[in-house]
Amino acid sequence: MHKDLQIKLLKIIEKYDSIQQELSSPEISTEKRIELSKKFSSLEQIVEKKKELDDIEKNLAETEELLREDIDTELVELAKDDIINLKKKLEEEYNKLKKLLIPKDKDDERNAIVEIRAGTGGDEAALFSMVLLRMYQKYGENNKWKFEILSFQETNIGGCKEAILSFSGKNVFSSLKYESGVHRVQRVPQTETQGRIHTSASTVAVLPMVEEVEVEIDQKDLRVDTFRSQGAGGQHVNTTDSAVRITHIPTNTVASCQDEKSQHKNKAKAMKILLSRIYEKQKKEKEEELASKRKSLVGSGDRSEKIRSYNYPQGRITDHRINLTLYKLEEVISGNALNEIISPLKEADIEEKIKDLS
C-alpha cells in the first residue's frame, strides 16, 4: 500500500475513534448527533474495509509461511491455490477501499439546472438542440425526476435556440454533470434538398441547483431590469413588461426569464438560474486554486470541449472522452439508452480518481 494512502487511513481511523467518543457523550445536541452520525457512517465503511484487508493480508502471510515449511505435496498445491485466490481477493478489496477513499463531490446529490444552446449550424443546430431537450426530458422521466422548463426560446421552424430546465430527484447532478460540453451532430438537415450531410453543434451546461442561503449575495449587488417578452409565439409576448433580467454586478453574471405571464414568477425563475451560475463560478475558482490537484477530463464539464458526436447516417454515437462508440443512436436520443453512456463515464471518472490515490 502506498505510504500516502497509509497515512490517510491512519488519520481516518483517528477521526473515526474521535467521533465514536463524541457520540457516546450524553451532552451533545440532537443536531450535532445527526451530523456526527452521518460522518461516522461514512468513515465506518472505510474502517471496516481496512479491517477486511488486514485479515486477508494476515491470512496470505500465514499461507506463504506455510509454503516455506516442509509440508507434503498435496498441501503445497492447496497452499499455492490459496495464495492465488487471496492475492486476487486482496486486489479486489483494495480497489473497493480506494473507491471509498475518493473525496465525494458534495454536489452529486443536488438537483440540477441544464442549459442547452444552439451552436454552429444555424437552424439545424437549433433543431438538434430540441432533440437534446427531449432526450434529457425522457431520461428524467425514466429516472422519476421532476422536470421544469425555466426558460425557452423557440425558432420559427420549431427548433430550440436556448432552453434552461431544472431536474429534481435522487442524485440528479451526479448523473447529468457528464453532459456538459459540445454535442456535435452529423446528419442531413430537414432544410437540405440535395441530401448532403451537415455538421452542426449544440452546447450543454449542467449546473448544481443551490438555495439562496448557500450563496452569499448582497441584494444591493443585484440589478433587476424588466422588459417585454420576445420570441416566436406566446399569448403574452410583447404585451406587458413581464420579462425579468437579473445582473449580479460584482461577477457580471446575468440570468433572465420571460416564459411566465407573471413578472414575479419570471423573477423567481431567473434568480434560481443566477444562483446556480454564481455558485458554479465560485466552485471553479476554488478548484483552480488547487493547482496540485489534477482535474479529471471526464468530470471537468468544460463547455468548450467536444464531448460527443451523433452520426445519423451510420446510427452511431461516440463519446470522445472515453472513446466509447455505440450503434444505438435512436435509443440514446430517445433517452432510453442514455445511461449506457453515462454509466461508463461514471466508472471512468472513478478510475481516474483512483489513480490519483495510488
**Which residues are registered as beta bridge partners of 326?**
317
Which helix or strand (DSSP H or E) is residue 283 part of?
A: helix 263-289
- Give kind and range of the element (H or E) at residue 122: helix 122-142
Check residue 297 and give its pLDDT.
47
Task: Please check whether residues 238 and 92 belong to one and the same domain.
Answer: no
Same domain for 92 and 175, yes or no, is no
Q: How many domains are there within the chain?
A: 3
Query: With the C-alpha atoms ordered 79, 84, 89, 95, is the resulting torsion angle positive or negative?
Result: positive
| Structural domain includes residue 107 | no
321 and 335 housed in the same domain? yes
DSSP 302-358: -TTSEEEEEETTTTEEEETTTTEEES-HHHHHTTSSTHHHHHHHHHHHHHHHHHHH-
Instruction: For residue 85, give the C-alpha cell.
Output: 485466490
As to burial, measured by CB atoms within 10 angstroms (0-12 exposed, 13-18 middle, 19+ buried), residue 286 is exposed
> Do residues 13 and 71 share a domain?
yes
Q: Which segments of the chain are extended strands (E)?
A: 112-118, 146-154, 160-168, 181-187, 198-208, 222-227, 243-248, 253-257, 306-311, 316-319, 324-326
Please give the pLDDT value at position 144.
95
The DSSP letter of residue 179 is G
Specify the residue for cell string 505510504.
3
Per-residue pLDDT of the chain (358 residues; tens, 9 = 90+): 667 778 888 888 999 999 999 998 888 888 888 888 988 888 998 999 999 999 999 999 988 888 777 666 777 888 888 999 999 999 889 888 888 888 778 888 899 999 999 998 888 999 999 999 999 999 999 999 999 999 899 988 889 999 999 999 998 999 999 999 999 999 987 766 677 888 999 999 999 998 877 888 888 989 998 887 765 544 444 556 788 999 999 989 999 888 888 888 888 899 999 999 999 888 887 776 554 444 454 554 455 679 999 999 999 999 999 999 999 999 999 999 999 999 999 989 888 887 776 5
Give the pLDDT score at 291: 47
CA angle 340, 344, 347 (to 5 degrees): 145
If asked whether residues 186 and 243 sit together in one domain, one would say no
By CB neighbour count within 10 A (0-12 exposed, 13-18 middle, 19+ buried), where does 59 fall? middle
CA distances, 137 to each of 3, 32, 164, 260, 316 (Å):
46, 39, 12, 20, 21
Of 38, 71, 101, which residue sits at a domain end? 101
Cell, residue 298? 471526464
pTM surpassing 0.85? Answer: no
Domain boundary among 241, 272, 289: 289
Nearest to 271 by CA among 250, 241, 247, 240: 247
Q: What is the dihedral of CA 189, 192, 194, 198, to 10 degrees?
A: -40
Maximum CA extent, the chain:
96
Q: Is there a single domain that holds both residue 265 and residue 307? A: no
Same domain, 168 and 152: yes
**Residue 69: inside a domain, yes or no?**
yes
Q: How far apart are CA 239 and CA 334, in angstroms?
A: 37
The verdict on 22 and 149 lying in the same domain is: no
**Residue 307 domain-assigned?**
yes
Same domain, 55 and 20: yes
User: Is the C-alpha dihedral spanning 78, 84, 86, 92 positive or negative?
Assistant: negative
Same structural domain, 240 and 120: no
CATH label of the domain that carries residue 148: 3.30.70.1660
- What pLDDT, on the 0 to 100 scale, is given for residue 339? 95
Paired strand residues for 316: 311
Which domain range does residue 267 map to? 214-289
Is residue 144 packed enough to be buried (19+ CB in 10 Å), middle (13-18) or exposed (0-12)?
exposed
Same domain? For 206 and 274 the reply is no
CA distance 185 to 204: 13
Residue among 59, 60, 53, 46 nearest 1 (CA): 53
Handedness of CA 241, 243, 248, 253 (dihedral sign): negative
